[in-house]
Structure 1
């Protein structure tokens, strides 16, 4: 109890046989003894939406809608050497999948749509995807409901391009995204294929990554061990030996794109380090990168390690498939951060062994696409109910927790009933609404269980 509250009691009760003192308002706002206790809330919100898709195995509930069977979106890979991408964007391999539309046999003004299902709108949302076209004849648009977001027509260039679009909430609670292609007049323009890969829809602003490096223009302040003869180098295209390494970077899946590369014929260890990163973030975040480790023979003399503050957090070794592979590592922020990529190559005098890295990024939240939210010491005597940070459609109720401070042993059953009631209310709400924790009914029904303090005051009497 604050000392000035004790002084007040002594003054009011001085030499009295009995007394009653109200000390609730004798202290300042930071030390006041409130009528009721506190609520602690813990829950998770989805960051990555269900319609995000790399199309490797399924369409992820994207629906092809078309006028005629001859003109529609399909999932697959190269069908024609001249018109479709030789590799997908996800793995930059010939076996990878994407969605495409190939206009041969179509008629003027035919329309083909690729539609998502209903997406719950929030204040901050971003759509990103990779786009490849050899088609300058047809018109390509992206819509949010009836609103045109971007016109991709006349963007013919034979490499994968990254497109980002901020999604405005506007007045609707939910919306659909549509990729729309309209068959044009091909008299003077080139017809070919239109391809899309790696659609990502996130409940956050575009360009919100803490760190993002594709090595296209520089090394992004990643420190290279200059004292080592065999070091990580930024390069593009295929390595010197045709039977080892990648033929493209990961970002653009083209021979003009850049990546970091390590090669040697002797035993060597090389470090690629990002040290003392000033991250303005607390809690969980996700480190993502793409790597390539391939040789036409099965060697086990190459290894890639990742350390976080000199602690090993990830490793892979030996011959992998001839494609870029993604690695994702859940980490927690620390005061002095050091992230190292350590390439270890064994002796192979008759040929080079190599490792490549590309597209390193750091993002808030977990690698599973969840944001953790925790609100502690929410005052139960406040009139404003506690509202979640995301709508019910993105709220993971199964991992939610509520607790009260203080919790009285005799009220355990009441607390359990309250928690179950409130979480059930959140489940029953519409997906577009936020969950509201309103304790007014519980407080009025069982005030003794939610009162903050009960005092027993001992005193001595003179003579």
Structure 2
């Protein structure tokens, strides 16, 4: 046990638990309460005992002479790693002329604001709860900044720390579901500026000049089309839902940039403090492959309620293009690099290795783990599906002969009653593309069962496959790729996931967009999408115990 004081304090003892006031000629923290004769008593009672005999700390603006007069109450330095909820009670009067904030300060003297009052002052004790983390020695600083002699007062009492997460009684509830969107049905809880065209929800057939969506390869995403704008400096803003203050957030999203001679700042992410109308840039595009879905992630924490804002920018008429956005998620906690995380059980992105997948033989004609573009032009993906810069598995057709096969086997999977769901992304682009099949090999069965198959060129984008099957016995899943008639026959898979239970989509309604060009005065002005309904249904083959999605227009 280390001697010293704790952060917890009710200010009833003379030592004040080790808290000290940073002296200022005009404003300072004082001890209030105790006796009726105490000239520093400005409140009728404290919070601890609810009586005139109790004590608290307070600071007022009686002697303020300048703007931004600051009073600081500093805690003892922590001596052991701490993580949990820091709570305290406060009163605040005439809050328009003062700012009450909570900071941490490390041994190097670096400050970080972790809380700021976000409600009008009143003459009652208010509870504040703040997520607090001190992995190394830190001080906690309660700071009040006055902007004038009529700034009122701030009182503080009953500071305590708990090693469990805050219940967020002082803020809005957070829901990861309500802050995420794949734009398949609508904009979810995201919205745009009222003026200007901004972001458009689109669904296009992928080709060499435009990409399909990231979620399924055939769904919807957001597109900021600045290519034909007549306004240099055009800006499109997409606002996310309100996020409670005093929490650590991780924002992940996928984006693709098409066109633009200079890519810098064509897409940026800001955080918008609602109460103070302040925007702060936390991420922007520097340089990335064009026309490839890339994953970005950024962590942030602000004391006030905030919104995440995605902004696309066209700096000049001659340097504009397309910015695509899809699959936004906002979660609690710090973002962590996928390379540092072990893959969840039953899931493989191929970014670290081949997971538990094996091959009967390994040579030039087997499955290969690759990244970026494949060696042969006009076939294969430009990047992986997970992040755009990660790894995937593929066959290199230039190393194979027509009709040659390559098999990739999963580890043995335990059989269970009911349905299994296999989810993966596949890429089949090239004039000579062959076949990609998925087989089920049950224990003690001499022959595999065909679950799913695609033949020939499918899309220049990654496409999602959902395969539902049943097996009570131990089994393996086999990915079989067959080389087509030419070297432009590279086939790739990525983001393989096994789930217990039926697949998520048994009956889904999506839309297909066809497009036509609008011509005026010999110039191409815009691309107009036309929506056509497409219905997808899961067809179950009773005799083989599996199913697959089939779609019709």
- Normalization by structure 1: what TM-score? 0.47
Higher relative contact order (CA 8 A, sep 6+): 1
TM-score by length of structure 2 reads 0.40
Structure holding more helix per residue:
1
Structure with more strand by fraction: 2
